[in-house]
Amino acid sequence: MDDDPKTTTRLSTDLDHDLKLGREFVELDEKSLRVLRDDTPIEEIQLNDIKKASVEEGIGIARLVIERTNGSVSDVAFFTKKKLKPFRSLTNVINSHMVASAPPILDEDEKPSKYNRGSTLRWLLEFMRPYRRKLLLGILFSVLLAGFNLVPPYLLQILIDSVLIASKPAPGLFVYLTLVLLVSFAIITVLTVLQGYFLNTLGQKVVNNLRGSVYEHAISLPTSFIERMTTGRILSRLTTDVGNTQWLMVWGLPTLTVNILTLIGIGVILFFLDTGLAVFVLVPVPFIIYALIRYRKGSFMVYHRNWRRSADVTAMITDTVPAYQVVKSFVREDREAGRLGENLDKLYNAQVDAVKMNLYYWPALGFLTSLATIAIWWVGGNQVLVGKIQLGIVTAFVAYLALFYTPINNLSNIVPFIQQGITSGDRLREIIDAKPEVQSKPGALKPKDLGGDIFFDKVTFGYEPYNPVIKDFVLKIPRGQRIAIVGRSGSGKTSISRLLMRFYDVDRGAIWIDNIDLRDIDLDYLRSKIAYVLQDVVLFDNTVAYNVIYGVSNPKETMVGPLDVLHACKAAGIHKEIMALQLAYDTNLGEKGSSLSGARGRDYHLQGP
């Protein structure tokens, strides 16, 4: 039996003990904490000897500090501030003395994808099921188009050998070949139009439906998921990733299929024309297959890193532009431009890595295919000179050779984008597959009168494991009583309201309304009965009337009309000010109510008939 303790957490640093850029690893198991460099332990501390673990921040550099039971203190790891979060979680686990049951802690940039390429492709194909007929038609037209493109070189071989250099050409053969060529080009034109129509219209349909599905699921995700991922990264998935995935499914995979079939078809024709010359065509193929396998293995992490850097840029822009008034008030335009510049530099470096990888593989493969062409010229030309084969065969061979390596070049161009599309599919799948952590129970209650006493019964809650924000919190609010909760920043005031709305569930204890556990009440019903006003005013880029009735579940079914909106605003004392606006209740408030003062925006945010 293996008695070795199981490693529960492995974190990497980005600084070594000499405070130079480098990587060391901190491992935690049920018995000890270890620091490794190149998989060689440089320090090991038994958990029984640790009194306290903490993270101390400096200017740009932080360190993991361990205080032992004998009173000694040591710095065991050093890292930059981007590593603060995982190492703080590590100290919480150590100090909780619950290492064995703690969930693993992973660096955000080093979290492996929980999906493999095959499963993601199957998932995307399942998503394409409603459009399979149109997709199959598009692929059929693409295959027929590739097939008819193989006709002209064969006609050229017949023209040279049986018409141009033949001593007695068959009567009418030249006219016949010309008509066949004309019909072939006409069919190619029609197939090109049909292929473009079916695949382009399908692409627009897929991208709109996929974006709608991701958006619908994203807004229903738990608060913790959205806060952990950030809205900027979600927006990146709704825009860039959806576009990449749409290209993959509508153009990438069909193009891949057509090019592979073209390679097979040309290979059969080449062996039919001349087996000896065809062998030279196959010489580079093993090297090409080997390079494609190597590329596939190495490209995943490169394009994954590229996506993360792109998402970081999107997230920063999304975070900064709406807060432009704060940026201007603190005169931080240059600072924000500098931050964006740093993120763009990181994105550029990631893109350069992808370019270098592509340049490492594909030009060399192109040179190999050129050598094969030279071999055909040399061997075929000599055989024509000695009369072993006809000139038309060599001419057709050279033409087919260009067509043979064109799909290989196409593969070299589309494989990077296919890999990028699969990576984007992983990102979309992560959202679609995410399950809400807070849900209504089967048969959840919908009490008619949900306005009784509210009781927080020894509630403990934390956003991170073993780091509670609220601990054994007790509060009773009698029906009809108005209270204010006062405390220092970070003491849990906002968390109390979030728990009442069930944006999160308590870790321990319970919240009761009318002696009913909050978790037994239907979630949508509960939230529809609570007016939740944020510290930051949230108004939608729509009319005054739209924002006033936003909290009503279904205005048409509940018969909420213009008079109800007027009564609500008159009761709030803001009707006259609304009527003074340019279009009164039809006035568009702008993004986040930018056309209103903060106080007035809060008044509109509060209303609801």
Q: 508 pLDDT band (50/70/90 cuts)?
A: confident
pLDDT value of position 351: 85
Cα→Cα distances 465→13, 28, 430, 505, Å: 22, 16, 22, 13
pLDDT value of position 186: 94
pLDDT value of position 608: 44
SS3 content of the chain, % helix, strand, coil (to 5): 60, 15, 25
pLDDT value of position 185: 92
Q: 594 pLDDT band (50/70/90 cuts)?
A: low
pLDDT in tens, 8-46: 678 888 888 888 878 888 888 888 888 988 878 888 888
pLDDT in tens, 387-400: 888 888 888 888 88
Report the pLDDT averaged over residues 267-289. Answer: 81
CA 211 to chain centre: 12
pLDDT in tens, 119-132: 777 887 777 788 88
Does pLDDT of 5 surpass 70? no
Q: 228 pLDDT band (50/70/90 cuts)?
A: low
Report the pLDDT averaged over residues 260-272. Answer: 83
The answer to whether residues 152 and 400 touch, using CB atoms and an 8 Å cutoff, is: no
pTM of the full structure: 0.57
More confident residue, 31 or 593: 31
Report the pLDDT averaged over residues 401-418. Answer: 73
pLDDT value of position 607: 46
Does pLDDT of 590 surpass 60? yes
> DSSP string covering 109-160, please?
GGPPPSS-HHHHHHHHHHHTGGGHHHHHHHHHHHHHHHHHTTHHHHHHHHHI
> DSSP string covering 311-364, please?
HHHHHHHHHHGGGHHHHHHTT-HHHHHHHHHHHHHHHHHHHHHHHHHHHHHHHH
Cα→Cα distances 377→279, 281, 374, 385, 406, Å: 13, 11, 5, 12, 18
Does pLDDT of 481 surpass 70? yes
Rounded Cα distance, 456 and 511, in Å: 5
- The phi and psi torsions of 32 (rounded to 5 degrees) equal -150, 165
- CA neighbor of 223 nearest in space, from 501, 490, 492, 489: 501
Does pLDDT of 175 surpass 80? yes
* Cβ within 8 Å of residue 498, ≥6 positions away: 223, 504
Q: Across the chain, what does the average pLDDT equal?
A: 78
Q: 591 pLDDT band (50/70/90 cuts)?
A: low
pLDDT value of position 59: 65
More confident residue, 371 or 490: 371
Percent of the chain with pLDDT over 90: 2
pLDDT value of position 189: 93
Report the pLDDT averaged over residues 476-498. Answer: 82
Q: 606 pLDDT band (50/70/90 cuts)?
A: very low
What's the alpha-carbon Rg for the chain, to the nearest Å? 34
pLDDT in tens, 526-568: 887 887 766 656 676 678 887 777 666 555 555 667 788 888 7
Q: What is the largest CA-CA distance in the chain?
A: 111
pLDDT value of position 40: 85
Rounded Cα distance, 268 and 252, in Å: 25
Does pLDDT of 406 surpass 90? no
Q: 95 pLDDT band (50/70/90 cuts)?
A: confident
Rounded Cα distance, 375 and 277, in Å: 9
- CA neighbor of 306 nearest in space, from 193, 424, 470: 424
pLDDT in tens, 41-78: 888 888 888 888 888 877 668 889 999 988 888 888 99
